[in-house]
Amino acid sequence: MTKGMIFDIQRYSIHDGPGIRTTVFLKECPLRCAWCANPESWGSVPRLFHLQSRCIRCFSCAAAAKEGQVKAAPDGPIFDFGSCTGDDALRLAAACPAGALVVKGTPMAPEEVFRVIERDLPFYERSGGGVTLSGGEPLLQKDFAKELLTLCKEARISTAVETTGLVPWETFAELQGLVDLYLYDIKHLDPEVHKARTGRSNEQISENLKKLSATDAHIHVRTPVIPGFNDTPEALRAIADFLDALGIRERTLLPFHQYGSSKFRSCGLSYQMDSVPQMTPETLQHLAETSKFYQTGGNKS
Amino acid sequence: MKKLLFPEGITRQERTEFLNARMRAVVPEICVERARLVTESYQSTEGEPYILRRAKALRHLLEHMTIFIDQEELIVGNHAAKPRCAPVFPEFGLFDEKELDLMPVRKVDTLQISEEDKRFLLDDIFPYWKTRCAGERAVHYFSPELLRILDSPYRVFNPLSRTRSGHGHYLPNVRRILQEGFVSIEEKAARYLKELDYCDPDYAEKMQFYQAALICIDGVKAFQKRYAELARSMAADCTDERRKKELSLIAANCDRVPYQPARTYFEAVQSFWFVILIDYCGQNGSSISDGRVDQILRPYYEKDLADGVLSRDEAGEILECLWVKHSDIIKAGTYSSVRNNGGFSTANNLVLGGLDPQGNDAVCDMTYLCLEAEEAVFNSEPNTSIRLSSKNPDAYVNRVIQILVHKEGGKMPFFNDDQIIDALMRDGLTREEALDYAIVGCVEPTGYGNTMGSTNAGMFNLAKCLELALFNGVCQMSGMQMGPKTGYLTDFKTFEEVQEAFRTQVTYFVNLMVCSLNCTEKLIGDYCPHIFSSLLLDGCLENGRDCTRGGAKYNHIGINGVGTADVADSLNVIRHMIYETHSVSAEEVMEAMRTDFKDKEILRQRFLNQVPKYGNDVDAADHMAVWVAKLYCDCVRDKATVRGGTFRPGLFCLSSNTPLGRQVCALPSGRLAGTPLGDGGISPKHSMDTHGPTAAARSVAKLPHTLAINGVNFNMKFLPSILKTPEDQQKLTDLIRTYFSLGGMHIQFNILTREKLIAAQKHPDKYRSLVVRVAGYSAFFVELDKDIQDEIISRTEHGAA
């Protein structure tokens, strides 16, 4: 049995695959995108997370902290997040009466996670839903993912995985037959641009998608549209052409949003996208049309 | 769209928008005309039996009240001398000068009244009623101990408001009037009177009842005749050919119904409105409910359509006139009463869908026509509800959700048809009657046309009982010894002793409440018989007895427990922190409750955050709520009522959770003194259900819904952003259906934005059409009291971005 490092389990997820789903969020990601909506996933160790709105400024955390971890300022505690990880994070969170300090990253056995998932079985059955593994990059914890997915398959719960694609091909090969749907992110096709804005090149991502598309896996590609990164008809059309070549028709553009901004601050990270406006449905629609993103080339259906 | 019944010249949409805009623009006033007419009548009938005096007062009213037919109306019949004004019912209860002064300036249910009318009521009308009205007579019906407890503003329950209003809260058998007309009721009453057995020991009561029935029917005949004559004379004077024709059709309707059976759809709708309206003119009660309007009108609609005398669009046009008319009926309440409900909630429940008499899917085109009317008019009245059987199609549910999303306001709760039908059969209804059930008021499943359910006879404060159970029966808000001396929290060695003390308090106050309500109902039966309502309830004519005296086939009194989640969460904290982890002492808990957590915010936060709460699908926490709910229901059910039948427990609160919260000190759940209790009967406490709607739904489904057969409510609030696409909406449909398959009985959604509500608070003028559902009923948001608005805003938002 392999424990997974989980940072959230969200029931009634309705935008992570078909039907009503439970989404399990796994820690750590190979990428570091500035627009990330879940920066608390970064890093493999449990991370302290401070919810400003719940903080009552009682400084119980300061009393429980080691030297230098928490500074009591008039506006509330200031954390040295880098040193507040692992057991220290747990101790500080336990000291907080208000639920303002939580730990993002809890080791859980597959059975333990499965017991939460199976509670919504009747909802999945009615709606055609199931479980979705997300993150971070859930496939970084492939042994845990495999065990959990196996439990779900045995219980006839439909499975989906949201992935960056940036894991060794062997991981995909190993999970064959356990994943009913891949929600696969393709962000940009230019390796240089990809590396500059996400920290890693996209070669392995593209390569894995090619291989995966050659199997009988069900793939739905999603592209977050980020201003200044890939919000041009050319960049999006390039992705569409790539998908056309692989015969992948299911694809969705996701508009850039700012929902992750407060999370950056909550885990002591600086957020670079404050000045970037959220993408309106109209802008997204316009980009989809000008790039003919949803038109599958020469292969009309 | 081709017209078949009406002349061309105005479209359905134009008429509906015109009528609705005019209705919404009314500034409600007090109307003193009814008070004058009723008092005249009573003064002229001194010494006669009360039931005859009451019948004569109704007849006098129907013969003399101002009537009018407004521009473009197709369905006629008014409640007061002007549209959407509140008549006065002095035979039930009076207002003192302070109360009348407050009416035009109070923030909720604001009612204008002229100085002249105020003086008229205070000087000419109310003195006569000072010793005669039901409200003032109540003092003679309660024991001194009861009066002492009721005198406290922090009491566990309050049965007195009912003495001021009459019962309301039932489903008149209007369908029978449509089919047979009052003429058949009249024949029956006359025959029973004639054939009355000389040796019947109840001869006098029965004779007087039948005499009273015939007097009421005389009043009905006079009333419709006056409208017919008015329409005819207006038609004669009308120069617009279109309106002239419409007025002639109205006159023809009023010549015929409701005394004669309805032959056409148009007559049926007119008859329907007259019957409901007259019932509301006769008594001050709210929640006299329409029932299954789609099923009742369906045969008339289908026949006229088949006969080619009515188009679908015209049927919708007539229906929308009926929908708008519902806002005409408002009642004047005291401030202490209206702040509990607010928003001129008459709570006339109208229910759609469900199963037909054979147990098959009853959703039909008439159902969709009703949904169109709901969407086009979308006022707080009628209080439209959705019967949902597993046999009803998804398309029907999706249509309802589409309207809710489009209107961004919560209305139209869903009721689990399959479960309720079974539960009502176990409760004594025949299968045929159970299949025909409808909803009374907000959430109360009730037999149609056969049950005097008195479904909202009182709200019972469970949280107050917990306060008393932890403090030896002493009220912490006033220091008064209110309940039995069951010891202090510090005395209890085990958690079971805490539970036992709570059980003792609940039992004591339920018994007192039962007593007080039986006394109240005796009073109403003695002085305020509901003769007109009795004509519309199976059993009353056959038994020769008024429905306020047990004449109806089925009799209940419904009392509703409030604070389930607060009590369960508090008991969870007590059990966990005092008796399991020993992390807090009983003294500390008592001190925190007594001082409202003064200098104990850290402790309060621990209570709030470190113990699992009801609503997160955590079995241990949820089972406490199950225990509380079951305890209350078991205490209430099977107790006998003065009318026969039994008391029925419910677990819903409308918006009484706010005023009831004012009566309760700080609680171990972390709730501060005086703040609202959890909203929506069996809903998890707001902000405490943090695991999403499926977890909340599973938690709530663990409760014994059908034990609380008088009704439960489970409110869930959504931001519109999670219901944008048809796929999202389908998922909500799936959520509802799964919740029902798990045993849920009722679910209600509020789909709106927090910003919208805050903006509405600041700029009521811009948001007058925003209808919100306040814990089981709906009202114009801007008409609610501010703290009730605040409470709505603070409720948990599922799917918040």
Q: What is the CATH number of the domain that holds A20?
A: 3.20.20.70
Q: Is residue A225 part of a domain?
A: yes
Residue A284, min C-alpha distance to chain B (Å): 16
Closest chain B C-alpha to A14 CA, distance in angstroms? 7
Co-location of B274 and B155 in the same domain: no
Q: Is the pLDDT of residue B310 over 60?
A: yes
CB contact under 8 A, A127 and B730: yes
Reported as a pLDDT band with limits 50, 70 and 90, residue B591 is very high
Position B625 in a domain: yes
- Decide if B769 is inside a domain: no
Q: Tell whether the model's pLDDT for residue B271 goes beyond 80.
A: yes
Strands B438-440 and B414-416: unpaired
Confidence of residue B781 (pLDDT cuts 50, 70, 90): low
SS3 B632: helix
Tokens of B745: 């009985």
Q: Inspect the interface and report whether the beta carbons of A56 and B601 lie closer than 8 Å.
A: yes
Residue A54 vs residue B106, higher pLDDT: B106
Rounded Cα distance, A100 and A93, in Å: 8
Task: Give the closest-approach CA distance of B389 to chain A in angstroms.
Answer: 15
Tens digits of per-residue pLDDT, B621-658?
A: 999 999 999 999 999 998 999 999 999 999 998 888 98
- The answer on A220 and A77 residing in a single domain is no
Contact assignment for A259 to B801 by CB distance below 8 Å: yes
Residue among B602, B694, B698 whose CB faces A97 most closely: B602
Q: How far is B438 from chain A (nearest CA, A)?
A: 27
Across the interface, whether the CB atoms of A99 and B605 are under 8 A apart is answered yes
Buried b (16+ CB within 10 A) or exposed e, B430-448: eeebbbbbbbbbbbbbbbb
Domain end among B652, B686, B715: B715
Q: B175 and B238, same structural domain?
A: yes
Cβ neighbours, 10 Å, residue B222: 14
Please report, to the nearest 10 degrees, the dihedral formed by the alpha carbons of residues B184, B186, B190, B192 taken in order.
Answer: 60
Strand partners, A107: A5
Residue ending a domain, among A57, A81, A104, is A104
| A:B CB pairs within 8 Å | 70
Domain C-terminal end among B333, B359, B384? B333
- B782: pLDDT confidence band, cut at 50, 70 and 90? low
| CA gap B404, B399 in Å, rounded | 9
Summarize pLDDT for A82-133 with one digit per residue, the tens.
999 889 999 999 999 998 999 999 999 999 999 999 999 999 999 999 999 9
Residue A10: inside a domain? yes
Do B61 and B208 fall within a single domain?
yes
Which of B311, B333, B355 is at the close of a domain?
Answer: B333
Please write the tens of the pLDDT for every residue from B664-679: 999 999 999 999 999 8
Nearest one of A4, A11, A1 to A119, comparing CA atoms: A11
By CB neighbour count within 10 A (0-12 exposed, 13-18 middle, 19+ buried), where does B86 fall? buried
Domain assignment of residue B466, yes or no: yes
B270 and B328 both lie in a single domain? yes
Residue A116: inside a domain, yes or no?
Answer: yes
CB atoms within 10 A of CB A56: 16
Q: Indicate if A169 and A34 belong to the same structural domain.
A: yes
**Beta-ladder partners of B291:** B350
DSSP annotation of B684: P
- Tell me the chain A residues in contact with residue B617 when contact means C-beta distances shorter than 8 Å: 119
Tell me, yes or no, whether A113 and A97 share the same domain: no
Residue A233 lies in a domain: yes
Q: Does residue A301 sit within a domain?
A: no
Q: Looking at the structure, tell me whether residues A127 and A54 fall in a common domain.
A: no
Express each pLDDT in B346-394 by its tens digit. 999 999 999 999 999 999 999 999 999 999 999 999 999 999 999 999 9
Q: Do B738 and A60 touch (CB under 8 A)?
A: no
Average pLDDT estimate for B561-565: 97
Residue B414 is assigned to a structural domain of this protein: no
Nearest-CA distance from B631 to chain A in Å? Answer: 27
Helix or strand or coil: residue A176? coil
Residue B728 is assigned to a structural domain of this protein: no
Rounded Cα distance, A193 and A200, in Å: 9
Contact B698 A120 (CB under 8 A): yes
Check whether residue A13 and residue A57 sit in a common domain.
no
**pLDDT of amino acid B779:** 43
Q: Tell me if chain A has a CB within 8 Å of the CB of B728.
A: yes
Whether residues B622 and B474 fall in one domain:
yes
Q: Which domain holds residue B667?
A: 142-164+458-530+538-715
| Contact call for B694 and A259, based on CB within 8 A | no
User: With contacts defined as CB-CB under 8 Å, which chain A residues touch B608?
Assistant: 98-99
Residue B572 DSSP SS3: helix
Averaged pLDDT score across all residues of chain B: 93
Judge whether residue B162 has pLDDT over 90: no
Q: Tokens 């925190």, residue?
A: B592
Check CB contact under 8 Å for B722 and A19: no
Chain A residues whose CB is inside 8 A of the B610 CB are 97
| CA B472, B476, B478, B483 torsion-angle sign | negative
Q: Which of A58, A59, A123, A259 to mutate to test the interface with B (most CBs of B within 10 A)?
A: A123
Partner A contacted by B730 (CB < 8 A): yes
Helix (H, G, I), strand (E, B) or coil at B548: helix
Average pLDDT over residues B286-297: 97
B775 pLDDT tier (thresholds 50, 70, 90): very low
Q: So what's the pLDDT on residue B233? A: 98
In terms of CA atoms, which chain B residue is nearest residue A102? Answer: B609
Q: Does one domain contain both B519 and B608?
A: yes
Beta carbons of A14 and B731 less than 8 Å apart: yes
Residue A60 belongs to domain with CATH number: 3.30.70
A180 and A131 part of one domain: yes
As a whole number of angstroms, the distance between CA A152 and CA A155 comes to: 5
Q: Which domain holds residue A88?
A: 47-104
A263 shares a domain with A233? yes
Least confident span in A239-243, B55-59, B308-312, B456-460: B456-460
**Residues B470 and B498 sit within 8 Å (Cβ to Cβ):** yes
Q: B150 pLDDT band (50/70/90 cuts)?
A: confident
Report the sign of the C-alpha dihedral through residues B54, B57, B63, B69, in that order.
Answer: negative
The number of domains in chain B is 2
Identify whether residues A52 and A176 lie together within a single domain: no
Polymer length of chain B: 801
- Only one residue has tokens 């009421």, namely B216
pLDDT tens readout for residues B26-53 = 999 999 999 999 999 999 999 999 999 9
Cβ contact, residue pair B694, A123, below 8 Å: yes
Of A10, A14, A97, the CB nearest to B722: A14
Does residue B147 share a domain with residue B264? Answer: no
Asked if B513 and B545 sit in the same domain, the reply is: yes
The string of DSSP letters for B226-253 reads HHHHHHHHHHHH---HHHHHHHHHHHHH
Six-digit token string for B497: 């002793």
Minimal Cβ distance to B610: which of A97, A125, A127: A97
Q: Judge contact between B630 and B704, C-beta under 8 A.
A: yes
Nearest to A12 among B608, B609, B694 (CB): B694
| pLDDT < 50 stretches in chain A | 298-301
- Residue B125 in any domain: the answer is yes
- Confidence band, pLDDT 50/70/90 cuts, at residue B794: low
pLDDT bin (cut points 50, 70, 90) of residue B58 is very high
Q: Which of A15, A56, A122 sits opposite B605 (nearest CB)?
A: A56
Residues A129 and A75 in one domain: no
Identify whether the C-beta of residue B797 lies closer than 8 Å to the C-beta of residue B779.
no
Judgement on whether residues B33 and B153 belong to the same structural domain of the protein: no
Which contacts of B356-360 are long-range, i.e. CB under 8 A and separated by 24 or more positions?
Answer: B356/B295, B356/B435, B357/B432, B357/B435, B357/B436, B359/B435, B360/B391
Asked if ipTM goes beyond 0.85, one says yes
CATH code, domain with B40: 3.20.70.20
User: For B734, which of A97, A119, A123 is closest by C-beta distance?
Assistant: A123
Statement to judge: residues B554 and B499 lie in one domain: yes
The shortest C-alpha distance from A12 to chain B (Å) reads: 6
**Is residue B773 predicted with pLDDT exceeding 50?**
no
Question: B384 - beta bridge partners?
Answer: B350
Instruction: Kindly report the nearest CA distance between residue A52 and chain B, in angstroms.
Output: 15
Closest A-chain CA to B693? A12
Q: Is B702 on the interface with A (CB under 8 A)?
A: no
- The tokens describing B379, both together, are 């006022």
Give residue B515's pLDDT: 94
Q: In A, which residues are within 8 Å of B601 by CB distance?
A: 56, 58
Is A19 within 8 Å of chain B by CB? yes
Q: Do A149 and A27 reside in the same domain of the chain? A: yes
Whether residue A297 lies inside any domain: the answer is no
**Nearest partner of B392 among B366, B357, B420, B416, judged by Cα:** B416
Query: Do B320 and B238 reside in the same domain of the chain?
Result: yes
Nearest CA in chain B to A259: B801
Residue A156 and residue A64 share a domain: no
Q: How confident is the model at residue B800 (pLDDT cuts 50, 70, 90)?
A: very low
Mean pLDDT on B417-443: 97
Residues forming a β-bridge with B350: B291, B384
Nearest to B688 by CA among A53, A99, A59, A106: A99
Q: Cis link prior to A136 (omega < 30° from 0)?
A: yes
Q: Is residue A299 in a domain?
A: no
Same domain, B149 and B256: no
Write down the pLDDT at residue B762: 78
Q: How many domains does chain A have?
A: 2
Residue B427 counted as domain residue = no
Q: How high is the pLDDT of residue B689?
A: 84
Task: Name the residue of chain B whose CA is nearest to A100's CA.
Answer: B609
From the list B710, B739, B338, B733, the residue with the least C-alpha distance to B557 is B710
Cβ-based contacts of B605 with chain A (< 8 Å): 56, 58, 97-99
Stretch 120-159 of chain A: residues touching chain B, C-beta under 8 Å: 120, 122-123, 125-127, 129
Whether residue B780 lies inside any domain: the answer is no
Q: What is the CA radius of gyration of chain B?
A: 26
Residues A138 and A57 in one domain: no
